[in-house]
């Protein structure tokens, strides 16, 4: 029998809004039972960037595990959420394009009462996220972006906005992640549905 950890990173920042979250989403956003990781499997109806010029830029970021140049529809994917001993949460997302498998990694931590996402190898891209519950679903919105260079944090201009919307969808859930700029529009997006469960780590 698995015991459940204290509070997840999401619970620690959602505070009073947690009780309004759809119960079907609490397995994903809540703490994992001790000795397990969360695994989601599904299909992204769309994944990538519609802007050809940006795909050339993203080809340079794939080694860092941040973004990728591929774009497609009906892309199988897997997400593995692994709680860490220090209370952080590491997510590994795998996108199975027909000719290439791409992996994105990030770590979520709570810093000064705020949810912070560190993306890619070494967590060099850092986003401070606002967390709200909207109509029973979870919404994350970037408040600040920066680069981490050792102990230094260099702020980036706030011309890019990242939003994550997750809601219950039948027996599973739907996710819609968008990176947008007021100057050029949608930069990157992935959206689709998946089912989620807690299993022993392999």
pLDDT band at 154 (very low <50, low <70, confident <90, very high): low
Token representation of residue 98: 């027909």
List the domain boundaries for the chain: 9-196
**For 17-30, what is each residue's pLDDT tens digit?**
999 999 999 999 99
**For 51-95, what is each residue's pLDDT tens digit?**
988 888 788 777 777 889 999 999 999 999 999 999 999 999 999
The residue with tokens 């702020």 is: 155
Which whole number is the average pLDDT over 141-170?
Answer: 81
Which whole number is the average pLDDT over 31-38?
Answer: 94
Q: Rounded to whole angstroms, how far apart are CA atoms 93 and 46?
A: 15
**For 167-180, what is each residue's pLDDT tens digit?**
999 889 999 999 99
Dump the DSSP string for 53-83: HHHHHHTTTGGGTS--S--EEEEEEEEEEEE
Element (H or E) spanning 105, and its range? Answer: strand 100-111
Look at 25-39, 122-136, 142-156 and tell me which has the smallest mean pLDDT.
142-156
Check pLDDT > 90 for residue 12. yes
Check pLDDT > 80 for residue 148. no
Token representation of residue 153: 């944090």
Coil, helix or strand at residue 120: coil
Which top CATH class is 9-196? mainly beta
**For 43-63, what is each residue's pLDDT tens digit?**
999 999 999 888 887 887 777
Check pLDDT > 80 for residue 4. no
Question: Do residues 93 and 76 make contact, with C-beta atoms less than 8 angstroms apart?
Answer: no
Question: Do residues 194 and 185 make contact, with C-beta atoms less than 8 angstroms apart?
Answer: no
Mean of all residue pLDDT scores within the chain: 90
Question: Do residues 156 and 124 make contact, with C-beta atoms less than 8 angstroms apart?
Answer: no
Phi then psi for 32, rounded to 5 degrees? -80, 145
Coil, helix or strand at residue 131: strand
Check pLDDT > 60 for residue 31. yes
pLDDT band at 3 (very low <50, low <70, confident <90, very high): low
């Amino acid at each position: 029998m698995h015991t459940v950890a204290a509070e997840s990173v999401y619970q620690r920042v959602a505070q009073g809004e947690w009780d309004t979250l759809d119960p079907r989403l609490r397995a994903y956003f809540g703490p994992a039972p001790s000795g397990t990781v969360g695994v989601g499997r599904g299909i992204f109806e769309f994944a990538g960037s519609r802007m050809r010029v940006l795909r050339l830029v993203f080809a340079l970021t794939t080694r860092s595990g941040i973004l990728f140049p591929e774009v497609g529809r009906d892309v199988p994917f897997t997400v593995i959420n692994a709680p860490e001993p220090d209370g952080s949460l590491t997510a590994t997302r795998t996108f199975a394009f027909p000719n290439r498998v791409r992996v994105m990694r990030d770590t979520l931590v709570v810093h000064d009462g705020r949810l912070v996402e560190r993306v890619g190898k070494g967590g060099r891209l850092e986003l401070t996220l606002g967390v709200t519950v909207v109509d029973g679903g979870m919404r994350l919105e970037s408040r600040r972006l920066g680069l981490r260079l050792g102990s230094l944090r260099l702020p980036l201009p706030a011309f890019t906005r990242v939003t994550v919307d997750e809601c219950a969808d039948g027996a599973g859930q739907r996710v819609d992640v968008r990176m947008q700029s007021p100057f050029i529009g949608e930069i990157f997006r992935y959206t689709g549905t998946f089912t989620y469960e807690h299993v022993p780590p392999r």
